[in-house]
Amino acid sequence: MAKANGKSHGKPAELDLEHELPAGDGDEGQSGADRGNSPAAAEALSPETELQRLKAERDTLVDRLARAQAEFENARRRASKEQQDFRDYATADAIKALLPALDSFERALHTSSERGISEGGDFRSGVELIYKQLQDALAKLGVRPIPAKGEPFDPHYHEAVELVETTDVPDHEILEELQRGYKFKDRLLRPAMVKVAKNPG
């Protein structure tokens, strides 16, 4: 046979331009193995890159966890302080209600001394014992008397009810305590009522 399918064996086969596929990009001519070996793909699949990404993600999560723990600890401390402050205020109110009883004990002891009741008497000893027990109980709670007589006048802790002109003591020194003042921990319960020296001129 001289011809097959209308084409000669002696000549190269002519291109069928009507049915020929269009030419692709340069990358499409590469095999799958060639594409996988490209620098970008190699970097994306690199274990070192994946490790760095995981480390960065871990650091972010650790930082968020540390922040959450710090916020929780701060909230716990605020709640604990608020509870303690509430207990202190409640205790302070109860102690304030007892201060007049302390004043009455002090006046009773002072009056008995003025009337000549002996310090060894049963009545005075009983009053002194009760007074000391009450003072000890308040001291365990954190109640302290405010120093007054002989101390410099401090408007934060003393209330001056009278100024006495004198040169016997330095100016603004407390001459006499009229009513004892008390502190509860660092909180002022009641200022001391005092007489204060005032040097003339």
Asked whether 148 and 183 are in contact (CB, 8 A), the reply is no
pLDDT tens sequence for the chain (201 residues): 444 444 445 455 555 555 555 554 544 444 444 544 555 554 555 888 888 889 999 999 999 999 999 999 999 999 999 998 888 888 999 999 999 999 998 888 887 766 665 555 777 888 889 999 999 999 999 999 999 999 999 999 999 999 999 999 999 999 999 999 999 988 899 999 999 999 987
Amino acid at 110: H
Instruction: List the domains of the chain with CATH numbers.
Output: 44-141 (3.90.20), 144-201 (2.30.22.10)
- 187 beta partners: 184
- The alpha carbon dihedral of 114, 117, 119, 122 has a sign of negative
Cα gap 39→62, rounded to integer Å: 33
Residue with tokens 């020194």: 173
